[in-house]
């Protein structure tokens, strides 16, 4: 459903996406896994049309995002849900208004219907009855869930998550992971999750794309990645200091981040 072909993105002298080729299957959860600086957020920005690549294409349902006009891109992006790092809730709006925001912005749906939709989405993320609360009254995990309710309020075909569990305690991490998987099934949505957390990635992913300094070093199902005999992949998923990935200061930093975050 979503296909990336020969994608290149450079910033100054840094190649953040180095000739990437991959696909994201319809109705499945694909995790883009990699250490800090490996190019995960860059790939996400190209997939969502927030940035244009230097080379290559991003096909969504057969249409190349990189060739669309602003208006066409805007229309496609209405059918994309996004859960940003830090949830990005409006702190001056209550939970109801936060979730209703995309509907008010992009549609002419009547207030009573908006109320029904928001109630339903809150129910889905297990936060029924919290409409009147302000974001500051919520825990980090609850904020993520509100962000999730907002991300699905326009009934997207695809939903993007940038580090959905970073900064959460283990229990909230489990809750969000399960929610991502459950919503994926219930809504038959395509889910694309950026993460550096190997353990939660294995729990929620159908497919994994492993990035390392701008390149895809492995892609496949969870089983395929787990059983990979590629030394770089083994080193990555076990966080071993000895192996083909040079253990420079930066490599050590990102392994630390993966292991001890
Ligand atoms: N807007 C930008 N300007 C300059 N360099 C950038 C920009 N965005 C990303 N980079 C660089 O590209 C590389 C990949 O970054 P990023 O995609 O943010 O990685 P990740 O999300 O995996 O941590 C990094 O070296 C980063 O410094
Ligand atoms: Mg990032």
* Ligand at shortest distance from the CA of 39: 1
- Return the axis-axis angle of helices 140-151 and 111-124, rounded to nearest 10°: 130
Look at ligand 1, atom 18, and give the residue with the nearest C-alpha: 41
Binding-site residues, ligand 1, Cβ < 6 A: 11, 14, 16, 34, 36-42
* Ligand at shortest distance from the CA of 38: 1
Per-residue pLDDT, 243: 61
> Which residue of 7, 14, 85 sits with most ligand 1 atoms within 8 Å of its CB, as the best mutation to test the pocket?
14
pLDDT band at 236; cut points 50, 70, 90? confident
pLDDT band at 240; cut points 50, 70, 90? low
pTM across the whole model: 0.88
Query: What pLDDT, in 10s, does the model give residues 13-40?
Result: 899 999 999 999 999 999 999 988 899 9
Greater model confidence, 252 or 55: 55
For residues 5-12, give the mean pLDDT. Answer: 96
Asked which of 19-33, 95-109, 233-247 is least confident by mean pLDDT, the reply is 233-247
Ligand 1 centre distance from Cα of residue 123 (Å): 36
pLDDT averaged over the chain? 89
pLDDT at 256 over 60: no
Tell which atom from ligand 1 comes closest to the C-alpha of 38.
Answer: 22
> Which residue of 12, 16, 166 sits with most ligand 1 atoms within 8 Å of its CB, as the best mutation to test the pocket?
16
Ligand 2 centre distance from Cα of residue 193 (Å): 11
pLDDT at 260 over 50: no
Q: Spell out the domains of the chain, with CATH numbers in brackets.
A: 2-79+156-260 (3.40.50.300)
Q: 48 with 82: CB under 8 angstroms?
A: yes
Look at ligand 1, atom 6, and give the residue with the nearest C-alpha: 11
pLDDT band at 253; cut points 50, 70, 90? low
Ligand 2 centre distance from Cα of residue 48 (Å): 14
Greater model confidence, 135 or 255: 135
């Amino acid at each position: 459903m979503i296909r990336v072909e020969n994608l290149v993105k450079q910033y100054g002298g840094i190649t953040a996406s180095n000739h990437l080729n991959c696909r994201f299957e319809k109705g499945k959860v694909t995790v883009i896994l990699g250490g800090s600086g490996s190019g995960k957020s860059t790939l996400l920005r190209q997939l969502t049309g927030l940035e244009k690549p230097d080379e290559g294409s991003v096909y969504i349902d057969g249409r190349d995002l990189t060739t669309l006009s602003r208006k066409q891109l805007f229309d496609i992006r209405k059918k994309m849900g996004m859960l940003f790092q830090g949830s990005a809730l409006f702190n001056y709006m209550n939970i109801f208004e936060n979730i209703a925001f995309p509907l008010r912005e992009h549609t002419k749906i009547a207030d009573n219907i908006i109320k029904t939709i928001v109630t339903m989405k809150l129910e889905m993320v297990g936060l029924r009855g919290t409409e009147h609360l302000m974001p500051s009254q919520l825990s980090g995990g609850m904020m993520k869930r509100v962000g999730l309710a907002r991300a699905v309020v326009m009934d997207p075909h695809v939903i993007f998550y940038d580090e959905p569990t970073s900064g959460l305690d283990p229990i909230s991490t489990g809750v969000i992971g399960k929610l991502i998987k459950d919503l994926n099934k219930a809504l038959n949505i395509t889910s694309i999750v950026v993460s550096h957390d190997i353990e939660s990635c294995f729990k929620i992913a159908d497919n994994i794309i492993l990035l390392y300094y701008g390149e895809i070093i492995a892609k496949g199902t969870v089983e395929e990645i787990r059983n990979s005999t590629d030394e770089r992949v083994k080193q990555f998923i076990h966080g071993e200091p000895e192996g083909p990935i040079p253990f420079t200061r930066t490599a050590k930093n990102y392994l630390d981040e993966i292991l001890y975050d």
